[in-house]
Structures are given as C-alpha cells and as structure tokens.
Structure 1
Amino acid sequence: MNKNGPLALIFNALVVTFTLAPLVVVCLVAFTPAETLTLPTTSFSLRWFHTLFEHDEFLHSFWISLGLAACSATLSCLLAVPAGIAITRYAFPGRNAINALLLSPLLIPHLVLGVALMRMFSLVGGAGSLGWLLLAHAMVITPYVMRQVVSALAGFDASAEQAAISLGASRATVFRRITLPMILPGVTGGWMLAFINSFDEVTMSVFVTSPSTVTLPVRMYMYATESVDPMMAAVSALMIALTAVAMLMIDRVYGLDRMLVGRTG
C-alpha cells in the first residue's frame, strides 16, 4: 500500500482523532457552568477554575508535584549523566547489569513498584517522607534521562575531548567545557521528559505518599473516588496545558523527532 495514499492519510487522521478526542472533550467540559460532566454545554464559564483555586489542598498538592518533579528530574540527571558516559564509553565487569538495572523501571509495572517501595519504606522508617518519595520518583524516571543521554553520546565526536586533553586540560575541565555542552540538548530533553513523567505519576505514588505529601495526581484520584464533577475536568485541563507546554519546550530545545529516535534506537 502506498504510504502516501488516501487510505494511509485516512488511517492516520483516524488515529490522531481517536487519540486527541478524549483530551478535547475534557478541556471543553472544564468550561461548563453545569453541576455535572455534560457535553455539549449551552455556555462557557470559568466557574470550575475559580472553584479549583478555592481548594487549598489542590494548590498545596500542585506545588508538591511541581517541586517533586523538578527535584527528581534533576536528581535523575545527576545519576544518568555519569552512568551514561561510563556505559557508553567504557568496558568493565557488570556494565550490562548496571545498564539493565537503571532501565528496569520501564519493565516493571508501577503498581508492583508501589507495593514494593511501600514495604521497603515502612521497614526503614521512611514511609510518608518527602525525601523517600523523591527517591522513588527519581528511580522511576531515571530510565527516560538515561536513554536521552546514551542517545546523545552515541553520536558524540570524541576528537574535541582528545585534543583538549593533549593540550593539558584536566578531565573535569574537558567535561565541563566540552562534553557537557555538546550533550546538553540530550540532557535537557531527558530532564523535561522526566519532569513530565514525575508530575503525572499516580500509580506508584498512591502507595508511598502520606497526608502531608499528597501529589496532585493522587489528590485527583482521591477526589474522584468521592465526587466526580467538572472541577476534575478543570484540573485535568490545566495538567494537559502544562504537559503541552513542556512538550513544546522539548521540541524547541531537543526536537521530538530526535527524542523518538533515541527511545527506539
């Protein structure tokens, strides 16, 4: 079948429509003035956005999720950059095992991870701690940064590093002034991708949060078990907007096409 034929275009249009339709419906429902999740709506209103900002617990959870995502993504970069350099450039015993360990959270269901981490945190006395929650999120999102760093290093020309070393530059100087700037697009793209996944994480977080460290997705889940009204659509619309902005930033900084190649390569 011709890849550019009318049937291929129709198929692609149907896939895009099927993917985006639920997001569009949620965003439209967020602006309804009605008491229930109804569509179509007779008019548009910001009522439920005003209601959302009147709930202090949602605002508190939002700031927790925002700070947690930023810190866990940064921690993942601090771990993934040296690990990616070591795995890509050096041959040492256990290299494949370390690589598999760092990527293993992609293969393990988050439900299983949540139960296991909840049990481990309770044994070490860290249940409900924000620090342990940070480590849990960093563990889950590190593979995303790892893939981007490895992808950036795969096409890296080491001749500039060798020239700098031959001129007397130290390893630290070479990394700071040559290696890091050249792989910075990959690191930045990995950080943003990790930020998005941490901010949206709910399955694992349900098991390791406490009443004082409830993230926004967990707060939404808890609220939805008690009441389903358009305020949930308003929260979802804001999260969709935040994710869309982050993806646009990834595209501008790194390029979504390069990111997808890095993930499938």
Structure 2
Amino acid sequence: MSKNGPLALSFHALVVVFMLAPLVVVCLVAFTPENTLSLPWHGFSLRWFRAVFERADFIQSFYNSLILAVAAATLATLIAVPAALAITRYRFPGRDFLNGLFLSPIIIPHLVLGVAMLRLFALMGVNGSFVWLMFAHVVVITPYVLRLVIAASIGMDRSAEQAAESLGASRFTLFRLITLPMILPGVAGGWLLAFINSFDEVTLSIFVTSPSTQTLPVRMYVYATESIDPMMAAVSALVIALTAATMIILDRVYGLDRVLVGRH
C-alpha cells in the first residue's frame, strides 16, 4: 500500500489537472486584450467582460436562465420529495414502474427528448411558452433530485418519527418537524444539482425555446455559430464564477459533504 501511495496520489493529481485545465484556459482567454481566442500574453484586459454587459440580449438570456433554473429546480423538488418518500416507504402496485418512469429521462438522450417535446408542443400549440419550457426542464432534472432524496430517505433513522407518531403528532407536523429536517441534505443537494443542470441545459432547450424565452446557453450557442471571439470566454468565465460562488455559499451555510452525501 505504501508503494502505491505516491503513484495513486500522482494519478489523482493528473486527473484533477486534466479536468481543471480547460476551465483555467477559458478563464485566462476571457482576459485577453486581443480580438482572437488567445492567452493574455501581452497583459490582461476587461474589455470582453464590458462587452458582455453591453449586450442586452445576453443579459436577458441570463435572467431567463436564472428564473427558469430556480423555478424548475423548485418544482422538481416538490415533485421528487413525495415521490421518493412513497417509493422508499410503501409497497404498492406499480412502484417499480413509477420509479423507472421518474428516472428514465437520465438514460434518454436530450436530443431525442428535445425533438419529441418540440413535436408535442407544436401539436398543443404552445411553442415558445415559458411555462412549457419549464415543464421540459422539470422532466429532465427531476431524476437528480429523486435519486438524492431516495438515498437520504433510505439512510434515515425512523425511530424519531415513530416516537412522535406515538405521541399523537399529525402527519404534516411529523413531516415538517422531523422527516424534512432529516432528509434536508438530500433535498438541498438534489435542488442544487437540478438548478445547475437546468441552468446549463442546451440540447433540449434549443428545440423548445423562442426568441423571448431564449436561455443563456442557447444564446451562447447561437452566437458561437455566428462569431467566435473572446466574449464567449468571458461569458463562460462568468458562469464558472457563478457556479463556484453557489457551491462556496452552500458549503459555508450548510456543508457540501452533508448536501452531496446526504448525511448528518
């Protein structure tokens, strides 16, 4: 084991470098003063960040993505929590089917889902609707919440619930004061993963957005097909910073180990 220690450490370090290197390069390119995608060899500049904030379409797309991600992640959590509790605590006909139905969007390519929803929304006459765009996002992000809440529900000690029930606590009181606090790490982690996946979703969103509901990833994709300049790196750097800030705040307030692992 001692002989493999340095080798294993070196391997993990190389994996981390391999994963982080593209992000570092993108962030460095965002500060270039040049008009091309190049590293800032001749000094750093904020010109491309100023260019981003001068683009009203990018600002509006950011707000669209933010509102959509918050709403979709919250709705997905409201659906996943009772579904996870029902799946883990009760045995009823169709339980396995229900579990598979909720988790199926994970294994279905988003390209296929996007084409199917485009056709469905066209038949319903709701193309371009923000509400139905949110519905599409809820479909693809609910499995992330469900899996973490199921893990938290399976691992929780139900003795406190049984004691409160024996003392006459109502089901709502039982859930609000005992069950929910005990599974909160899984709920919070699921909401966070759902939010990030909804905010970054591009493949599905391309098919079901309209000019008025265009999200930031779709706006970036469209812009990249028209022009390639360091402004894309600046937008990417801002998204990376937003994601990192969210993770840091969550870690400071609640603890990432509890949120992502689902333990107390």
Give ranges in structure 1 of 5+ residues lacking alignment. none
The 1:179/1:94 distance shift into structure 2, 3 A limit, reads: same
**174-183 vs 87-96, which moves further:** 174-183
Deviation at 1:245, TM superposition (A): 2.1
Q: Provide the residue aligned with 2:156 in structure 1.
A: 156
* Residue deviations 1:169-192 (CA, integer Å, cap 9, x gap): 111111111111111121111111
The 1:208/1:3 distance shift into structure 2, 3 A limit, reads: farther
**161-170 vs 128-137, which moves further:** 161-170
Alpha-carbon RMSD: 1.7
Q: Provide the residue aligned with 2:200 in structure 1.
A: 200
Q: Provide the residue aligned with 2:16 in structure 1.
A: 16
Give the % identical residues.
Answer: 67
Is the 1:164–1:174 Cα contact (8 Å) retained in structure 2? Answer: yes
TM-score, normalised to structure 2, is 0.94
Deviation at 1:6, TM superposition (A): 2.2
Is the 2:189–2:260 Cα contact (8 Å) retained in structure 1? Answer: yes
The 1:168/1:105 distance shift into structure 2, 3 A limit, reads: same
The 1:242/1:18 distance shift into structure 2, 3 A limit, reads: same
Looking at structure 2, the residues matched to 179 and 261 of structure 1 have their Cα atoms a distance apart, in angstroms, of 13
Looking at structure 2, the residues matched to 254 and 81 of structure 1 have their Cα atoms a distance apart, in angstroms, of 21
Equivalent pairs counted in the alignment come to 262
2:74 is equivalent to residue 66 of structure 1: no
Looking at structure 2, the residues matched to 3 and 258 of structure 1 have their Cα atoms a distance apart, in angstroms, of 34
Q: Provide the residue aligned with 1:166 in structure 2.
A: 166
SS at match of 2:226: coil
Q: In structure 2, what residue type is equivalent to 1:72?
A: A
Q: In structure 2, what residue type is equivalent to 1:129?
A: S
**167-176 vs 245-254, which moves further:** 245-254
SS at match of 1:5: helix
Give ranges in structure 2 of 5+ residues lacking alignment. none
The 1:138/1:16 distance shift into structure 2, 3 A limit, reads: same
Is the 2:87–2:99 Cα contact (8 Å) retained in structure 1? Answer: yes
Looking at structure 2, the residues matched to 257 and 175 of structure 1 have their Cα atoms a distance apart, in angstroms, of 20
SS at match of 2:203: coil
Is the 1:77–1:145 Cα contact (8 Å) retained in structure 2? Answer: yes
